[in-house]
Amino acid sequence: MTPRVGVITDSLACLTKELVEQYGIRIVPLSFYFRDKVYKDWVDITPSEAYELFLKNPESWYSTAPSPTEFLEAFHEVSNRTKNILCVTISSKLSTTYDVAQVAKGQAEAELPGTSIEVLDSRTTTAAEGFVALAAAQAAAEGKNLAEVTKAAEEMREKVTFVALLDTVRYVYRSGRIPKIAARAGSILDIRPIFTISSGVVRTVGIVRSKEHGVERLLKRMRDKVGQNPVHVAVMHAYAPDEAERLKERVSTEFNCAELWLTEFSPLMGYTTGTGTLGLAFYSGD
């Protein structure tokens, strides 16, 4: 049975190919430039391949604002199978993606009479945003209507948590939040920040001097929130597959996992975080 609602999200949601195919989620790829060539995130290039380019010449690697055209194409495509669409985007406080999707929604509704489209600000990013989109897609698979699917996504938005450990602060000046000289100083001092997202904004919640200590802090933060309750977890990494596998193994061993999967950070995040980043997105529930 075809779901009554189609779900769209952007590539920063870091959903695996398997999950995208299982739930029929349409991914809108964001783009980046490397040496004047444009690459579509997760389409023209894998995250690992993108990070390899980044390491070759970080200064030639630039992110680019999304285009309404990409979202408009997605709305047209999904409207071929359903007239009800929910589009989940990265936090509007971190990117213009939400605003761009709203522009595309206006165009799509004019071009697709009878189609209802909702655009939801996830107020987060990475696999935490992915979990919001998954909640919507799971509700849609159960045959729920657009209002019910949107409500499922909104409820997930309130309970999912994202926390990550940077391996370097060398590139965070690109976010515009700290001066370049401060980023260089932090890199020399070997500082590794731990950050989360609260109310749609990135916030630093700790600083460590070693990767090992940082991983312990990630796990403690999750343990403090979920205890031994069933937990759904996505383990994320930026060009650090071995470390991510070890982190996944620890999560599997130390927590009561109802769901556990591994994914890569979108290289659009790597633009400011650099390689070596590890992260967890999780929520407690049956």
| CA distances (Å), origin 77, targets 103, 147, 221, 255 | 17, 21, 40, 40
Q: Name the residue ranges covered by the structural domains of the chain.
A: 6-30+66-158, 161-284
Whole-number pLDDT of residue 286? 63
What confidence tier does 105 reach under pLDDT thresholds 50, 70, 90?
A: very high
Whole-number pLDDT of residue 5? 98
**Looking at the predicted structure, is the pLDDT value of residue 120 above 50?**
yes
Whole-number pLDDT of residue 171? 53
User: Using one digit for the tens of pLDDT, what is the confidence trace for 40-67?
Assistant: 988 888 888 988 888 888 778 778 778 8
Nearest to 178 by CA among 163, 195, 164: 195
Whole-number pLDDT of residue 250? 98
Tell which CATH classification among 3.40.50.300, 3.40.50.10440, 3.30.420.40, 1.20.210.10 matches the domain 6-30+66-158.
3.40.50.10440
Whole-number pLDDT of residue 235? 98
Share of the chain above pLDDT 70, in %: 91
Tell which CATH classification among 3.10.20.30, 3.30.1180.10, 3.40.50.10860, 2.10.109.10 matches the domain 161-284.
3.30.1180.10
Whole-number pLDDT of residue 254? 97
User: Using one digit for the tens of pLDDT, what is the confidence trace for 229-251?
Assistant: 999 999 999 999 999 999 999 99
What confidence tier does 98 reach under pLDDT thresholds 50, 70, 90?
A: very high
Q: Choose the weakest-confidence range: 82-96, 99-113, 141-155, 195-209.
A: 195-209
Average pLDDT over the chain, rounded to an integer:
89
User: Using one digit for the tens of pLDDT, what is the confidence trace for 180-228?
Assistant: 433 343 443 467 889 899 889 888 888 898 999 999 999 999 999 999 9
The mean pLDDT of 90-117, rounded to a whole number, is: 95
**Looking at the predicted structure, is the pLDDT value of residue 173 above 50?**
no
Whole-number pLDDT of residue 172? 52
The mean pLDDT of 114-134, rounded to a whole number, is: 97
Q: Look up the pTM and report it.
A: 0.93
The mean pLDDT of 123-135, rounded to a whole number, is: 97
**Looking at the predicted structure, is the pLDDT value of residue 177 above 50?**
no
